[in-house]
Amino acid sequence: MTDAPKPKSDLGPRAIVGAILIALAAVALWSGGFLFWLVLVIAALLMLSEWSDLAKMPAKDKRLAQFTLSVPLAIMCPLASGASFFALGLLAGSAFFVVIVTRKPRLAAGLIYVGLPVLALLAIRAQDRGLLLAFWTMALVWACDIGAYAAGRSFGGPKLAPAISPNKTWSGLIGGMAAATLFAALLTHWGLSPYMVAITPLLAIAAQIGDLYESWLKRRAGVKDSGTMLPGHGGFLDRLDGLVPVAPLAALVILSHQVLA
């Protein structure tokens, strides 16, 4: 009797896809303007597709939602009104339109879920020190993920939310907060405000809440990953779940700090 073949490791494809995603994000972030907007728009439409699949929406409703979301996303373009209150109003209006037409509030909620982070990141990037602030916003989520994984694997301990995500631990949460805060502290060398460093642990908690929420969505849908477009990584929602709540919160922190300064 021969041994069963070992499952093929996805480490290679995972590393390649991860490197491509990081390079694409870095180039878009550095360039800003139209390229940054375009990358965010593509990501948002793909995330909405995955959201619709997790919610088990019919294909026609998914397409309607994507076409409707395209309107506020187009207005967010730097060549149009950009990240403005007008775009925010259109985003809310698009969600209202979808819920009226389809009678499916979960589908309408998906427009806000994926559209608001796009608006927030564009608003952050448009600030005077937008490159640094947007980098801080995005990279603190990555640092949190790395720190949480390393601490969880090293220390283990009590589970954070076993009914939602059995692998997440309290030590991982603390490790993620510590890694994100250390990363933010290093950025003060390039001009990041100590106020942003002080806020970072709270944003790290938000990132992990976003991760848990997406895990809950997948558990509710009975799937392991939100999609299959990213070999070794699952879907775009899997990769960006922590950034979804962090981006709007970071934008509020940045804009309010500038008003009060």
Provide the residue ranges of all domains of the chain, joining segments of one domain with +: 15-126, 128-261
- Using only C-alpha atoms, what is the Rg of the chain? 19
Question: What six digits make up the tokens of 237?
Answer: 């929602």
Tell me which DSSP letter residue 225 carries: S
The segments of the chain whose pLDDT lies below 70 read 1-15, 232-233, 259-261
pLDDT tens per residue across span 105-133: 999 999 999 999 999 999 999 998 999 99
Q: How far apart are alpha carbons 168 and 160 in whole angstroms?
A: 5
Concatenate the DSSP letters of all residues of 139-180 into one string: HHHHHHHHHHHHHHHHH--SEEETTTEEEEEHHHHHHHHHHH
Q: How far apart are alpha carbons 141 and 78 in whole angstroms?
A: 25
Nearest to 108 by CA among 129, 121, 94: 94
Nearest to 134 by CA among 54, 25, 232: 25
pTM, entire model: 0.91
Reduce the DSSP state of residue 188 to 3 states and report it: helix
Nearest to 76 by CA among 63, 58, 96, 91: 91
Give the pLDDT confidence score for residue 181 in this predicted structure. Answer: 96
The backbone torsions φ and ψ at residue 112, rounded to the nearest 5 degrees and listed phi first, read -70, -40
Q: Are 188 and 194 spatial neighbours (Cβ–Cβ below 8 Å)?
A: yes
Give the pLDDT confidence score for residue 114 in this predicted structure. Answer: 97
* Dihedral, CA of residue 248, residue 249, residue 255 and residue 256, to nearest 10: 150
Q: How far apart are alpha carbons 94 and 72 in whole angstroms?
A: 7
CA angle, 31 then 34 then 37, to 5°: 95
